Every structure is written in structure tokens, then in C-alpha cells.
Structure 1
Amino acid sequence: MSDLLASDLRSPNAHSPNESASLTEWLDYMQQIHVSAIDMGLSRVLPVADALGVVQSAKDDAYVFTVAGTNGKGSTTAVIAEMCKAAGYKTALYQSPHLSAFNERVRINGEMVSDQTLIEAFSKVEAARLQCDLTLSFFEMTTLAALLIFAEADCDVWVLEVGLGGRLDVVNIIDPDMAVITNIGIDHVDWLGDNVEDIGREKAGILRKGIPLIYGAIEMPASVQQSIDTQQATCYQIGQDFSYRDIDATTWQYSNAAVTLQLPRPALSLTNTANALSAVLASPLDVDINAIEQALQTVKLGGRFDYRESHSRHWLFDVAHNEQGVEFLLAQLLPFWQQHVAKQSNQDSSANIPTPKIKMLFSMLGDKDIDKVVQRLTQAGLPISDWFVAEIDYPRAATTEQLQDVLVKYVDSTNMYEFDGLHTATHAVIEASQPQDLIVVCGSFHTIGEALSALSV
């Protein structure tokens, strides 16, 4: 999603890559061919999509889940796709943005497609674009390529994550058979509005006449209900039509009017998992309990409460970048932290090891509400001993000064360390931490991606 907004200056004079061009060359080229990085609306996209035949292919040959919402889209789409794959369906999954490699966005049966598959699709999209004499943004070009790949692979199920909003997002050229709205929060106010009613109206734009909607939040804006009524959609809402409860570290329970299931606990948010399971159960697809259980034990998604061990340190990566995302993170982090402390103490009860602490590796984009994110993180009761901050290598990144200006309101300056870049900050937090500590990396997809890149060197 965030790559849509990389810059407001593009050159329409770039030349199409030649036959031997690499994936990187294609991605660089597509960043240059449209005059604005974000251009919401479907009028330019639809003629190209029609020329490629992707809309008709989805309508004729696939069952389509489309997932919109402010937070949780990645986890929700990952769980839906994993369940469908486990049930034997050839399953396409489209997500954005990526953490490390662009190929992460386009998967078939859980596997990233190859560079060559992407290049061939980009070439076909480019030919159709030129034939239609139109310019397309980076996100429009790459989304059309993903849809073309799914059509040519004759996938049974398409699971599509909306990039920005819903109504005017390029993903919405495909008519879904099942819609999911994970939640409605304040984000992307320049494009979606600064209140939940306007934002809800945009996200509810993925609805079609008579299809089911899974709504994954307790509160529903009136604008969403109005869209449901207008489209005569069947809505299943969390807290009313389905619910879940946490049982223990390995088990949770899901319930709706028809079933109560005791299930293995996944590595992702239970709220998002319950929404995904509701979507699968409300579909006509044949997904049995064995496939559901298998999927919950195998599903994973980089950067979503993503625990790893690297460089003899404990790391937790989460892409939380707004207030609602931080609430999701904290709901999982607080009990996880208690388990981490207990585990460290039990590993060597005879040694006087220091009490574990949390080190925060943090950076955000400048157009996000940094203040609310930091305020919530610092007031959650976690023992965050130090903050390591640096500017992301991205056009919309918050400067180090912006980050400092916010942090100093909530964090003692002696516990705040600034660096030239995420690579340097990542290695600095390793040096400044102890093996029993937990390093939490959050604030943006780009923060996670750059930190992971630094750890791989």
C-alpha cells in the first residue's frame, strides 16, 4: 500500500524495458511512467484490464475473496489463503506492500512467483497499456500483472488485499464473491477522509449486490450499514454473528450460530483469524475441519507479530504503524512478554541474570500519527528501557528530528539513541542489548524490511 505514495513526481517519457530487462529494471521503470504516484479511480485501469481479460477470467473461473480495512488485511488474507490451499484449492494470494522482495506480493499455493513470471506479466500489461494509450501508476501496473498471473495460472480461489480504501482501488475492478472489512480506523486521511464515516464509505465500496460481508469490528459506521442495505448484502459481524475466546497458549475457541470449534492457536491475531475463518465458512467452498486445523498450524506472515532469533538476540517484528495497529500489537505483546520473562528465568534459575528488558527499534513514515503511536507504546506498562531511532530510506519517511520531537515528550532523552539509518541502528541495538532482552521492531513496513535486510548481511 505505502509504495503507492512514493512521490508526486513521475516522468511519462521513460522507455519500456527491453526483452533482457531484470525485475529490478521493470520495477524502476514502472515508478516513472505516471505523472503522480497515486491516482485514485478506475477509469484508466479498466480499459487495460479489459484488454488483458483479467476481469472476465476472475468472474468465470474463480471464487474471489476481497479484503479491505484499516488494519489486519495481511493476516486475514494469509489465513483465508492457507485454509483454501489446505483444502486442495489452487489458491492465489495478492498482498501489499512487501518486506524484502517484491515477489512476496504475488503467491500461488503459498509460493512466491518467480522473477521471470513477473517480468512476462509486466511486459503484457505494458503492451496493453500502450495499446490503450494510457498511463498507469506503479500500483496499478503491478496489480494488473498479479491478476493476469492468477488468470493464466487458472487458480480456483483468488484472495485479494485492497491497497488503499476500497471503492477506487485497482483491486476493486474484480467483483468479489465474498467481501471482508477487517475494521475502520483513521488512516490515509488525505485520500479517504478524516472520519470513520467517510473512510467506511470508501472501504464498503468493495461490496456487490447480494454477496456476503464479514465485518470484523464491534463498531460499524452508519455509512457501512447504508452500503450493506443498498447492496442487499448479508452481513456477518464479529460480536453478533460470530465470536471467539482465548483458551490458553495453544488453543482458542471459535463460535457462530452453526458451530463451535476448539482450534489450534495460530501465530497471527485471533481477531483476524476469526474474521478469515468466518469468510471461509460463509463461502460455498469445501473446507473441512482438517484443512482448517492444518492451516492454523502452518500459516505465517512476515512482520505480523513475527518472532525470530538472530545474532543471539530475541526479536519481534510488527508492522504496526497507526493507533489501531498498535492496539493489535499490544494485545499480543503483553502476554508474550510475560511468557518471555518466565522462560528466560527458567532457563538458568541458578544464575543471577539481569531482568530482561525491551529495546525498541523504531521509525515511521512522516504522514502517520507518530504521536499517538508513541504515546500508546510508552503508556502500555512495558519495560522499554531504550529507543533506537533512524530515518527510513524512503521518500515519505519521518526525519530523525520529527521522531525525536515526538519521543522527547514521552521518553527520557538519556534513553533515546539516534542513527543515520536503520542498518546502523539495527546493529547498534544488538551491541546495546543482552541475550535475555527482547528487541521490538515496529512503526512501518519499511522499518521491518530495512531491519531484516541489516540482519541478513
Structure 2
Amino acid sequence: MPQLLKALGDPGRNLRGMTVVGTNGKGSTCAFAVSALAAAGMRIGSMPSPHLQHVTERIRINGEPVSSLACHHAFAKVEDTLRSTGLVVNVGGVHAAAAAVHFALSGVDLAVMEASIGGQRTAVNCFDTGVKVITGVGLDHQHLLGSTLGEIARNKAGIVRDGDHVVLGELPGEAAKAVDDVLSQHTELTVWRLHREIHCRPRTARDGHTVLEVATPHAVHQELPCPLRGEHQHRNLALAVAGIDALAERGLIRDISQEALRSGLAATRWPGRLELLAPARFGSWTGSLLLDSADNHQGVTAVAPEILTHSRGAEHTAIVFGALGYKNVATMLEPLPGDWPVVLTRVGHPNEAAPDAMRTALAPRRELHVREETADAVDHAVELVGDGGLVIVLGTHLLVGRVRELFQLPPG
């Protein structure tokens, strides 16, 4: 990756901003940060990973995907350079390099970089943004990152460099110790931890909505709206605000006004994360559709309370589920009721979990159905719940993206 960037003219050499890693919550944290910074009048580049429907989602300016033409030009430059040099990088490296190329060409004030997997070897580790956020650590991608929380945490903490400002989310004991061990090997760090230097307090506003107070060593922010569903998003918002305060502490930005912060946070949208369509229509069916790309036990545990809340208003509920083959499918749906019917389907990836294999792994659940094609799986789920019922689409982003296309939802 460093050789590729050098051959491209080092398009990321002047990129400053924040890099976000973690097992879950990366995308939402980045979305909050981008929206708030853009509302303050800055031009913000970001590179979410993965995309749901179209590769243009991976290169964004102020939260909006770039045009297909701009995306094509950026990727073409990277691919031409790979051919001419004979260099080989992974897909994540190609995406990160293309984003850096576009940011250099179009000009950005700051970049918000999301790691795809891990930290130490992730492609975005080639960019010295200055602020590093670790949202959390859980058991996922063990085949790449290690089999224990400590090993995974050390890998993610590998994103840190001397002199960085580090923002840490909630970390279980083993992971916290591993991260502290890595941080102790660096010099001139500033470290803010959730529940220590960073505090987040929810309260109910007069209109009945929940607003947050987020306090960091830099500032106290009050009456912050959180438009994304689920209490776990409160933590993600707090980390995003702390990351913004860290940028100000480093002198990379001026303090943004509370008005801009609130309006930016309120405007945050992040498709495929507890995304509710009500009413939703599929053929002659009318009901509710809830989409979430949680694809590990920790992620499903986080969104389960919100899913259960929505299910109380529906007479019948069913799940459409798909996953990649290396995921621990057996435990993924444990946080959800065992008597909900589950329709298992393919997700169109070479490493997908086969529906029959998932049925074996999920055998303790009461009612399992298999439909090979996504459209057939959704069609069967709506038959199971009937009009007014709730269909939950859960699992890999690949499935969520396919269902968004079925319901003709635009990429975003």
C-alpha cells in the first residue's frame, strides 16, 4: 500500500482528520462526525466500508457519494498504476487509494477514514490523520485478527502513532488491557476514554425526544439530537463529538458552534442501520420493514432492544437472514426471540454461508425456512407475517443492500 500511494504521487500526504476503527459502530460514528463537520462549513471527505448498493458509496464528500464518473476516474487511476507498476494490494487498499486520489483532486479540508477490518494492517493506516478513534472491540474476523479479545484489540490499536490524539469507546477488560499495552509503547499521546474523560448523559426533552449531553476535556455540549435509532448510537455519537473536540484540541479546526453541531448531528443519516420503512410495500403486501447490517453477536445484541420495541406493534414478526461463511452464525441470533420464524437466504458472495449450513447451525430455533434467492426470501417472509406484520432483514451488508434495491431505495 505505501508503494502504491507513492506511485500515485502520495495523494494522502496532506490528509488530516480522524481514523475510526472498531468491531462495531465505525460507520455510524463516522456518519455523525462527517455530518457535524460539514454543517460547520467544512468540506469533508470520507470513505465508508463496506458499501451497501454501489461502489460510489465508498467515496463521499460531505456525506454524499461522488458521481459515478468521478468514482470511475479515481479507480481507473489506481488500476492503471497497479498495472504499470506490477504492485498487488487487496481490495481495501484499492478503495482507500481511490478515495485518496479523489480527495486530492477535488480538495477536502479534512478526511474521516473508516477502517475496513482491524487496524494495524488496514489500508487507512497509511494516512496520518492525527486523531484515532477505537469504537469498541468484540469477537469478529478472528481468522484475520486473532482468536481472543486481546489479540483483536492489539491489532486495532495498531492504528495509533506517536503524537496521536486517541479516543476510546467501551472496551471489555481483556481488550482494554491490550489497548493500554499498545498505547504505552507510544509517546506524546493524548487519550480520552468513554466514561472517564468523555461522558454522555441522555435526557428527555420537552417534546419527548431524547437529547444528549456530551462532555469532553475540551467542552460540554448540550441538547444534542441523536436521529439514529438505538441506545448504542448514543455512544457512537459521543465518540464522534469527542473526535471533533480532539480535532479542535490539535488545532486542525476551530471550535464549531453548538448550532452547527446540533444541526449536523440532526441531519445524520446512515442507511441499513435500524432503517425502518413503515409502511413498506412488496407486491400486494403492506407492513413494516426493518433493516440492519449487524453481522456478529455483539452487533445483534446492541440492536436487539430496538428490534424488540418495534416488534411489539406487530402481530407477527419474521427475520430474513444471510451471512458470510466465516461468521459465527450459531450465536448471531441468540439475542432475538427463538420462536420468530427465520428465512435463510444467499447473499451473492463467494464466501457466503450456504442456507443449509445456516439451518444446521441455527437448528435450536423453532422455525427455519430456506429460500435461495433474496426476492423469494422476502416474499416468503411477508407471507409468514401477513399485512401489518414486521419483516426484519438482518445480517451481512450484502443482504441489506440487495433488499434495499428490491424496495427501490436509492444508494446513500
Unaligned 5+ residue runs, structure 2?
A: none
Secondary structure of 1:376's aligned partner: coil
Question: Which secondary structure does the structure 2 equivalent of 1:396 belong to?
Answer: coil
Give secondary structure in 1 for the equivalent of 2:133. Answer: strand
Which of the numbers 278, 302, 322 marks the counterpart of 1:363?
A: 322
Partner residue in 1 for 2:178: 223
Q: Could you give the per-residue CA deviations for residues 302-348 of structure 1, whole angstroms, max 9, x where no partner exists?
A: 1111111320221111111111101221143334445xx2xxxxxxx
Name 1:294's counterpart in structure 2.
263
Distance 1:427 1:87 in 2: 44
Runs of 4+ with deviation above 6 angstroms: none
Candidates 20, 24, 35, aligned match of 1:71: 24
Q: Could you tell me whether the CA contact under 8 Å between 1:265 and 1:297 is conserved in 2?
A: yes
Match for 2:158 among 205, 219, 241? Answer: 205
Cα–Cα, structure 1 residues 427 and 456, in superposed 2: closer, same or farther, change >3 Å?
farther
The answer for the alignment partner of 1:396 in structure 2 is 351
| AA of the residue aligned to 1:450 | R
CA RMSD of aligned residues (A): 1.9
Aligned mates of 2:131, 2:21 — CA distance in 1: 11
Distance, in Å, in 2 between the alignment partners of 1:433 and 1:76 is 34
Question: Corresponding residue for 1:30?
Answer: none
Question: Which residue is 1:114 aligned to?
Answer: 67
Equivalence for 1:176: 129
Of stretches 115-124 and 144-153 in structure 1, the one that deviates more from structure 2 is 115-124
1:166-216 Cα shifts (integer Å, max 9, x gaps): 111111111121000000111111111001111111111111112111111
Residue 276 (structure 1) aligned to one of 227, 234, 240: 240
The alignment partner of 1:292 has SS state of helix
- Bigger shift: residues 291-300 or 117-126: 117-126
1:426 corresponds to 2:378: yes
User: Which protein has the larger Cα radius of gyration, Structure 1 or Structure 2?
Assistant: 1
TM-score between the two structures when normalised by the length of structure 1: 0.81
Deviation per CA, 1:124-179: give whole Å up to 9, x if none. 21232234321233322222111110111110010110011111111111112100
- Separation in 2, partners of 1:176, 1:143: 14
The CA deviation at 1:397 is: 1.0
Asked if 2 retains the 8 angstrom alpha-carbon contact of 1:361 and 1:389, the reply is yes
1:190 counterpart = 2:143:
yes
Deviation at residue 218 of structure 1 after TM alignment: 4.3
Identical counterparts, % of pairs = 27
**Selected match of 2:211 from 252, 263, 270:** 252
Aligned partners of 1:208 and 1:313: how far apart in 2? 50
Q: Partners in 1 of 2:52 and 2:76 — Cα distance?
A: 24
Report the residue type matching 1:308 in the other structure. L
Q: Does 1:329 align with 2:329?
A: no
Q: Secondary structure at the match of 2:336?
A: helix
For the pair 1:262 / 2:223, whether they are aligned, the reply is: yes
Q: Distance in 2 between matches of 1:145 and 1:456?
A: 28
SS in 2 for 1:182: strand
Task: Tell which deviates more after alignment, 74-83 or 356-365.
Answer: 356-365
Residue 444 of structure 1 is aligned with which of 396, 399, 410? 396
Structure 1 pair 106–328 and aligned structure 2 pair: CA distance change class (3 A):
same
Confirm or deny: 8 A CA contact 1:47 1:132 kept in the other structure.
no
Q: 2:393, 2:400 within 8 Å by CA — same for their partners in 1? A: yes
Cross-structure match for 2:294: 320
Tell me, in whole angstroms, the C-alpha distance in 1 between the residues paired with 2:87 and 2:109.
31
Runs of 5+ in structure 1 lacking a partner?
A: 1-44, 342-354
SS in 1 for 2:20: strand
Distance between the aligned counterparts of 2:9 and 2:39, measured in 1? 28
327-336 vs 111-120, which moves further:
327-336
2:116 touches 2:122 (CA, 8 Å); kept in 1? yes
